[in-house]
Amino acid sequence: LVKLDQETYAIPLTAIIETTSLKQDVILQAHREKVFDFRGQLVPLISLNQVYGLPHVEADAYSVVVVRSGEKLAGLMVSELIGQQEIVMKPLGSYLEGIRAISGATILGDGQVALIIDSNALLRK
């Protein structure tokens, strides 16, 4: 589970390679995209706040979830890492059909609804 702004989102554990914190000075620019060095490989950074139209917050360091889809890797920049939790995915049907890279939703233990991020869709271009 991660936070974007004040909202909680879930990323399937099967897509996650690792989580990390990146300082602003290790974020590079390549072909007008933000990238970072991940084990000797330049990996693109995707701001989930930007993807979902949330305000971007400048910080000295960012929480990043490194995900994989096939051979592609990406770092998903999030506001906060919450932790791992077992959830049950509920399909959304046509309710949120037009929202990019959302595969479903879940109801958390506190009753809050969290959208589930489809990292495979984010890595497809």
Contact by Cβ (8 Å): 122, 74: yes
Tell me the two tokens of residue 54: 């949330």
Instruction: Classify strands 72-78 and 7-10 as parallel, antiparallel or unpaired.
Output: unpaired
According to the model, what pLDDT value does residue 99 have?
78
According to the model, what pLDDT value does residue 125 have?
61
Contact by Cβ (8 Å): 9, 114: yes
- Burial code of 31-46, b = ≥16 C-beta within 10 A, e = fewer? eeebbbebeeeebbbb
Q: What is the pLDDT of residues 65-122, one digit of tens each?
A: 999 999 999 999 999 999 999 888 887 777 666 778 898 899 998 899 999 999 999 9
Task: Tell whether pTM > 0.75.
Answer: yes
Tell me the mean pLDDT in the region 26-49: 94
Residue 59 reports pLDDT greater than 90: no
According to the model, what pLDDT value does residue 6 have?
87
